[in-house]
Structure 1
Amino acid sequence: MDNKTLSIVSYITIIGWLIAYVMGKEKMDSLLRYHLKQSLGLGLVSLAFSISLNIVASIVPALSFLGIIGYAIIVLWVIGIINAANGEMKPIPFIGKAFEDKFSFIG
């Protein structure tokens, strides 16, 4: 697979991220490195949001409607895939800038 395809695959769950990281490790370019960082950051934000929402909803069941905010994460995920498919190194809106200089193990 080429780096553009691996960039797209990196957004598809943690298994896709691992596949993109392992397969692209030898021939990693700046596009793949950038999208690996963005998708890992988005995955971590999604996980933290899910855990915190479950805690809040178990304490105050009336606030379980906040789960609708999860759709915003899906929209950010789609934006990341579109950016990777177009070969652009644009950050994911709202949270992407925070992950541009993180995760130094990626490269």
Structure 2
Amino acid sequence: MSCNFNKISSLIRRPDFLKTPKYPNGLELDIPYYEYGYAIEVQGVQHEKYHEFFHRGDPNNFIKQQARDQLKNNYAKITDCPKVCLVLRRPICSYYSRASSRTGSH
């Protein structure tokens, strides 16, 4: 029997309380800890300002991402599910660029 981890992981990270008519599959929590009543959201630079790589060259994708982030915050408050945000101040893509140049991988 084969197990599709990505599908299972996606189902676990998309709780029913984040399913809406606009997002019928649900919005995704980065690291949910349902048994403890909270979730961790990792907020990189792309959550604070437009970044061409993450927003696929379309500033509207940044606006949509901010709307999704706000929707998750609102639902977390309504459902009494505390959410912890970890904010990364360094762009993730530059971190990977430096890491791959040190290891010689591309």
Give TM-score scaled by structure 2 length: 0.31
The structure with the largest alpha-carbon Rg is: 2
Query: Counting helix residues as a fraction of each chain, which structure ranks higher?
Result: 1
Give TM-score scaled by structure 1 length: 0.31
Higher relative contact order (CA 8 A, sep 6+): 1
Query: Counting strand residues as a fraction of each chain, which structure ranks higher?
Result: 2
